Structure 1
Amino acid sequence: MRDSSLSALFGALSNEMRMSTIANNLANVNTTAYKKDTMAFHDVFTRFAHDNVVSTETYLRGKEMFPDPKIMAKTRLAEQQVDFTQGSLQKTGNQLDFALSGEGFFKVQSGEDVMYTRAGNFLVDANGVLVTQQGDTVLVDGGPLVLPPGATLSATSGGTLSINGEPAGSFDLATFEDLGPLERAGGNKYLAPEGAAEAPPGDLEVQQGFLEKGNVEVVTEMVEMLETQRAFEMYSKMLTGTDQLDRNMILRLGRIT
C-alpha cells in the first residue's frame, strides 16, 4: 500500500472521530453544566536516517553532503480532553437549583462510588433525600440531606445549608490540582482515577436559584464541523486517487507481462 494511502486513511479516521465528538457536543448544548470535549491532532513523521543529520558541511566542490529530507506525515489523534471552562449562569429561582462559580464539583454518592458533578439541578426523592437527576445522593457533610415536606432550603455562597433557618451542614465540594485525568462516568458525572487526591476549592462559590449552562458554543462547533467534513472529503479523494493509480499500474504491468 502506498504511503499516501496510509496517511489519508489515518487522517480520515481521525477526522471521523473528531466529527463524532463535535456531534456529541452539539447534542448536549442544552445539558446543565455540560463540559465539551476537545481534540488535538499531530503529525507523526516517518524519518529517514539522513533526516536526523544536522551537519551543514559540504563537499569540497560545494555540493551538499546529504540529500533533502524526505518526511512522510501520518496524521494521528493526539489527545481528547474535557474542557472544564466555566459556563454562563442562568437564573431559575428554584430553591433546589445550585450553580457553581469557579473551579470545583459537588460530590455525589453513585452506588459504591463517590463521583463529581457540576450539574446542580437537584431533586427531592420519595424519602425526602436531596438527589441528582439520576437519583444519586448529594453528599452533605459526608452523608445524605433529608428535607421535611414543604421545608425551605437555603444556601450561602460558601455552600453552607440551612433548613427552615436551622443549620443543616454544608455541601461536600472538591476539586483537583489536575482536572485532566477525570473520566466521564455518564449522567454528567466524573470519576477520579485511583489515587487522585482531592484539593479544597479556592474561589468556588455556590449560587442558589441558578444553573450553570453548558460551555458549548454552537457557532464554533458548526464551523469546526464544516472544517472536519472538508478535511474528511480531502482524505477520501486522496484514497480514491491513490487507488486509481494502483489500478492503472497493475493494468499496465499486466499488459507488459
Structure 2
Amino acid sequence: MDTSLYVSLSHRVAVNRELEIVANNLANMNTTAFKAERVLFDDVMKKAGASDPVSFVIDRASYTDYKTGPLIRTENMFDLAINGEGWFSVQTADGVRYTRDGRFVVAPSGELTALDGSPVLDEGGGAILIPQEEPEISIGNDGVITAGDLQIGRVAVYEFENEQGLTRGPNGRYEGLDAPAISTDARVVQGAIEGSNVDPVSEVTRLIDLSRSYEQASRLDTDVHSQKKDAIRRLGENR
C-alpha cells in the first residue's frame, strides 16, 4: 500500500495543531500572567510492506510552560505579583481557582477581590477585609497585609507538587485536582503585576518555520499526485 499521502496528512495535522497553539500564545503576549502552551509530538511506526517502516506523526500531548513572566511595576497599592513559584487563590462561582493575575481591588464591601469581583482568599480560605479608612496599606513579601502597625490579613500563596496537573480555565485561572500547600519560597511584590511569559520573537520565528513546514507537506502531496497521474498515463500508453 502507498502510504506517502497518509504520512504527509499526519504531518499536516500535527503542524496545524501547533500553529493553533503558537497563534494563541501570540494573541496572549500582552495578557497579564499568561502562561504559554507547548505541544509534544511523537511518531508511530507501521509496516508499509514486507519490511519497509513508515513513521506517522501524532499529537502526543500539550503542556503549559509555567516559567515566570517579567514583573511590571504599576505602583498600584493592591497590584500584586509573585516572584517565584506559587499561586493566589480566589473564590469563584465554580469553586476555588488559582491564578497569578494579581490585579486586585477593594470592593465596596471592603473585600479584596479580583477585577471580576471574585474574593481573594487568605490562608484559611476566607475573604480579606481592607479597612477603607486607611489611606496606606502595606503588603509584605510574605503576603501579610498591614495598616499602620495593625496586621489585618495575609494573602495566601499556594504551590502544587505537580503543576502540570492543573487544568487551565477562563480568565487565566486554574483548577487544581490535588490539594496545594502554602508556599514558603515565593515572594509577594506589592505595586507590580506579572506579564505574559510568551517570547514574541521566538513565537513568530516558530510560526514562520511551521508555515514553511506545512507548505512543504502540501507540495509533497502535489508531487505524489503528479507521479501517480504520470504512472497511470504511461501504463495506459503501453497497453
TM-score, reference length from structure 1: 0.84
Asked if residue 192 in structure 1 is aligned to residue 176 in structure 2, the reply is yes
* AA partner of residue 21 (structure 2): T
- Root-mean-square deviation over aligned CA pairs: 2.2
Aligned to 2:126, which of 105, 118, 143?
Answer: 143
Q: Distance in 1 between matches of 2:131 and 2:118?
A: 19
Aligned to 1:183, which of 134, 158, 167?
Answer: 167
Cα distance change, pair 2–128 in 1 and its aligned pair in 2 (3 A): farther
Does structure 1 conserve the Cα–Cα contact (< 8 Å) formed by 2:156 and 2:182?
no
* AA partner of residue 216 (structure 1): V
Cα distance change, pair 126–241 in 1 and its aligned pair in 2 (3 A): farther
* Residue 96 of structure 1: aligned partner: 78
Q: Distance in 2 between matches of 1:192 and 1:228?
A: 33
* AA partner of residue 64 (structure 2): V
Does structure 1 conserve the Cα–Cα contact (< 8 Å) formed by 2:2 and 2:48?
no
Q: Distance in 1 between matches of 2:220 and 2:83?
A: 47
Q: Distance in 2 between matches of 1:108 and 1:254?
A: 72
Cα distance change, pair 6–143 in 1 and its aligned pair in 2 (3 A): same
Q: Which runs of 5+ in 2 are unaligned?
A: none
CA apart distance, 1:203:
1.2
Q: Distance in 2 between matches of 1:130 and 1:253?
A: 78
Q: Distance in 2 between matches of 1:89 and 1:11?
A: 38
* AA partner of residue 173 (structure 1): V
* Residue 65 of structure 1: aligned partner: none
| Matched position secondary structure for 2:164 | coil
Q: Distance in 2 between matches of 1:234 and 1:96?
A: 51
> Matched residue pairs, number?
237
| Matched position secondary structure for 1:74 | strand
Asked if residue 39 in structure 1 is aligned to residue 39 in structure 2, the reply is yes
CA apart distance, 1:202:
3.3
Cα distance change, pair 91–244 in 1 and its aligned pair in 2 (3 A): same
CA apart distance, 1:31:
1.1
| Matched position secondary structure for 1:162 | strand
| Matched position secondary structure for 1:227 | helix
CA apart distance, 1:128:
2.7
> What is the percentage of aligned positions where both structures have the same residue?
30
| Matched position secondary structure for 2:102 | coil
CA apart distance, 1:49:
10
Q: Distance in 2 between matches of 1:243 and 1:178?
A: 48
Does structure 2 conserve the Cα–Cα contact (< 8 Å) formed by 1:132 and 1:138?
yes
Matches within 5 A, 1:1-257: 2-47=2-47, 70-140=52-122, 141-151=124-134, 152-193=136-177, 196-250=178-232
| Matched position secondary structure for 2:197 | coil
* AA partner of residue 83 (structure 1): D
Cα distance change, pair 121–253 in 1 and its aligned pair in 2 (3 A): same
CA apart distance, 1:172:
2.0
Does structure 1 conserve the Cα–Cα contact (< 8 Å) formed by 2:32 and 2:195?
yes
Cα distance change, pair 220–109 in 1 and its aligned pair in 2 (3 A): same
CA apart distance, 1:179:
0.7
| Matched position secondary structure for 2:215 | helix
Cα distance change, pair 163–2 in 1 and its aligned pair in 2 (3 A): farther
* AA partner of residue 85 (structure 1): K
1:48-71 deviation digits (Å, cap 9, x = unpaired): 898xxxxxxxxxxxxxxxxxx622
Cα distance change, pair 155–246 in 1 and its aligned pair in 2 (3 A): same
Q: Which runs of 5+ in 1 are unaligned?
A: 51-68
CA apart distance, 1:216:
0.8
Cα distance change, pair 155–249 in 1 and its aligned pair in 2 (3 A): same
